[in-house]
Structure 1
Amino acid sequence: MADNKRATIHDVARIAQVSAATVSKVMRGVATVKPDNVMRVNDAIAQLDYRMDPLASGLRNEQRRIIGAVVPDLESPFFGALATGLESAAEDAGYTMIIASSCEDEKREADLIARMNDWRVAGTVLVPVRSERGPGAEQLRALDMQAVLVDRVSANDRFDTIAADNFAAAASVADLLIEQGHRSFLLHGATRVSRAVRTRQEGFITRAQALDPDVRVDTLMSDGGLDEHRKAISSYFDKMDAKDPITAVFSLSQHSTLIVLGEMRRRGIRIPDDVTLVGFDDAEWMRITWPSITAVAQPVAQIARRAIAMLLARVEGDKDGLRVQHLEPCKLWLRKSSEHRPALRSPSRLNRND
């Protein structure tokens, strides 16, 4: 075109000498369009460098092909991978995805849901800051939006939910450590808010106490920034009785594992000779650090694809009725940080603070 004005579907129709409705059918892959018309439309699209306007393409009763996604933190490796998986699955299904971060702020979460509604998305994937009872889910309900809730959620009577099976995965860590002879544990979490972290804590404690009612499980859950987390874990080790030390740490998120590992290295605590370390949420750095870290791997790609499939089944009317809760199984990768040491751990290093 001679100027910078964006070509419209009507420009394509005029050059191809067909109706705008026919252009729309060609772009959506409708098989009933005559081959000659398909060829002319495609030639016109190429000539005009035409791209469909996703906000203007909802002709009459067509469903808009835009999906929204709101996640707590795009800088997190887990949520970053989840967002990538959601976008890929949506595009494979012929949808465009708009992704936004709530920055772990519940007010912002609700505002973003309202914004998604303003953009007239077909449906929304929400990873709530807190749980399925938070303001984001309430906003989805109030606006009568189609949605799937992911990760920090349990069953819900309005929306389908999908998450890693945090309870079972944490229980498998308890199985491993109890079998190795550990009876004194620290569970460390870098948040008090996340339902997923609370479920991991519950899964470990429930299984450990079922296997041995006399186990000792200390819990340290702290909020705030990195300095607050460091002070909390440092204070825990300072106050621990050297005659009765913990022998294993289960950190309940990747961020938590980094905090615990940093403090243990600062104190010269040897892993696994003094203390065994197991983390939740695997990452590449856990495989290449020394010692390599035993970790629970979440099935991020499977969660993303199933979330999109569940959402589109509702959006496109292929599914109705009762809402479902789906739990994806996790995998526990055994590495050097949990190698069994039959001898009792030496308490000499656990209270060092130099």
Structure 2
Amino acid sequence: MKKPRPPSATVTIKHVAQHAGVSLGTVSRVLNNAANVDPSLRQRVAQAIVELGYEPNPVAQSLRSRQSRVIGVLLPDIQNPLTAAAVTGLEPVLARAGYTLFLANSHSDRARESDVLEQFKRRRVDGVIVMVGDDNDEATRAQLRDFSVPLVMLERVIDLDVDCVLTNQYEGTYRATRYLLGLGHRRICLITVPTITHSGRERLRGFEAAFTDLGIEVPRDLVHSEGRAHPYGRDAAYSSLIGRAPATAIVVSGGHLAGVMEAVRLLNLSIPQHLSLVTLGDTELAQLIEPPITAIRYDWPATGRCAAELLLEHLAEGRDAARPPSRQRIIVTHEFIIRGSCAPLGGTIPRSEHAVPARS
């Protein structure tokens, strides 16, 4: 006689066991993919699951296994095309391993950041990939130190024993600045994110080193590193492009490029005739502007993939007590893409595009 099928909304593991004629323990072992299950019993349970339309309760499963199969990812600005590209790199790696993303945007707001991290804890995520707004902040450091799950920092360096995956902002900014100095520019403006982040500090360091290595004074009045939003980039560029000694070239972070281009339009300037421009981060905007913008191209999808792979390594280490955890700092390489947005001071150059590999 065919066993009655319960309404789909009420199907439980008990119904599956009754339908298959096995114990609750057998069903549990099948659901958890245990090795010690007779193949014939496994087939009966699988058939019962299909026939009843049983769907495991992820909350109940996480309570039993102490694994949520969820990874928390916190970014300061998911609208930034470069950090968004990191997500496109890490998401498929985690998905193939059976993990779901809990993606949150802090808007570089410390209170919001703190709340999201607490939500990660309450929801019992298995691991965290995080790009904090201020990697010097003691409260942030203390909150991250309190996490009991694997943690990987993305594009940030913090005083904790955790993995970091970084782009080489120092080398990229140094190369961009030396290139402009080699074209005869001296009034070079830097527009970047605040130096409360590793990216901001490394860009400023690379910018200064390029001048210092040539014995040229750094134009401190043209350094802008206090804001992240579009209006900041616009206002910083505008103020640097007017006056008695305006900038003749700009090195700008990818997230500020749109603001710089707005200032260029407002002042009715032409690139590269009036202004040479290099962006730190190769965005679609940089490629579509006419002329296309010379760029330091960082492989952000690779950065995301690397962060996800490191996190999975540590999750595996956590399940293997005999394997001690290892901590790594990985720096992803970059290319220098020469396009038509730069010219010698007082002259012009061809607009052909080519890539210059990073120095080893």
Please give the range of the TM-score, normalised by the shorter of the 2 chains: 0.7 to 0.9
1:109 is matched with which residue: 98, 107, 113? 113
State how far apart, in whole Å, the 1-side matches of 2:55 and 2:89 are.
24
Identical aligned residues as a percent? 27
Indicate yes or no: 2:90 matched with 1:89.
no
Counterpart CA distance in 2 for 1:65 and 1:120 is 9
**Cα drift, residue 321 of structure 1:** 4.4
Unaligned runs of 5+ in 2: 349-360
The offset of 1:189, in angstroms, is 2.3
1:208 aligns with 211
What SS is found at the alignment partner of 1:55? helix
The 5 Å alignment of 1:131-280 reads 131=135, 133=137, 135-151=139-155, 153-154=156-157, 156-189=159-192, 191=194, 193-214=196-217, 216=219, 218-223=222-227, 226-227=230-231, 229-239=233-243, 241=244, 244-252=245-253, 254-280=254-280
2:124 to 112, 120, 127: 120
SS of residue matched to 2:273: coil
Shift of 1:282: 1.3
Aligned partners of 1:16 and 1:44 also within 8 Å: yes
Taking a change above 3 Å as real, the CA distance of residues 7 and 173 of structure 1, as seen in their structure-2 partners, is farther
Helix, strand or coil at the partner of 2:58: coil
Instruction: Note if 1:13 corresponds to 2:17.
Output: yes
Q: CA 1:132 to 1:41, structure 2 compared with 1: closer, same or farther past 3 Å?
A: farther
Match among 52, 56, 59 for residue 52 of structure 1 = 56
What is the CA RMSD across the aligned residues, in angstroms?
Answer: 2.8
Q: Give the stretch that moved more between structures: 162-171 or 321-330.
A: 321-330
Q: Structure 2: how far apart are the matches of 1:63 and 1:343?
A: 63
Structure 1 unaligned blocks of 5 or more: 346-354
AA in 2 matched with 1:16: A
2:303: which partner in 1? Answer: 303
Distance apart, 1:80 and its partner CA: 2.4
TM-score normalized by the length of structure 2 = 0.83
Change in CA separation of 1:75 and 1:4 when aligned onto 2, cut-off 3 Å: farther
4+ residue stretches of structure 1 with deviation over 6 A? Answer: none
- Is the alpha carbon distance of 1:132 and 1:26 closer, same or farther for their aligned partners in structure 2, counting shifts above 3 Å? farther
Q: What is the distance in 2 between the residues matched to 1:283 and 1:57?
A: 41
Q: How many residues end up aligned between the 2 structures?
A: 339
Q: Distance in 1 between matches of 2:210 and 2:178?
A: 7
23-32 or 79-88, larger mean C-alpha shift? 23-32
Tell me if the contact between 2:184 and 2:344 (Cα under 8 Å) persists in the aligned partners.
no
> 1:314 and 1:190, CA in 2 relative to 1: closer, same or farther beyond 3 A?
closer
Relative to 1, partners in 2 of residues 1:25 and 1:285: Cα closer, same or farther, differing over 3 Å?
farther
Q: Cα gap change, 1:157/1:166 in structure 2, threshold over 3 Å: closer, same or farther?
A: same
Counterpart-to-counterpart distance in 2, 1:343 and 1:191 = 32
SS in 2 for 1:158: coil
CA contact (8 A) 1:70 1:127 kept: yes
Note the C-alpha offset of 1:210: 1.0
Return the offset for 1:87.
Answer: 2.2
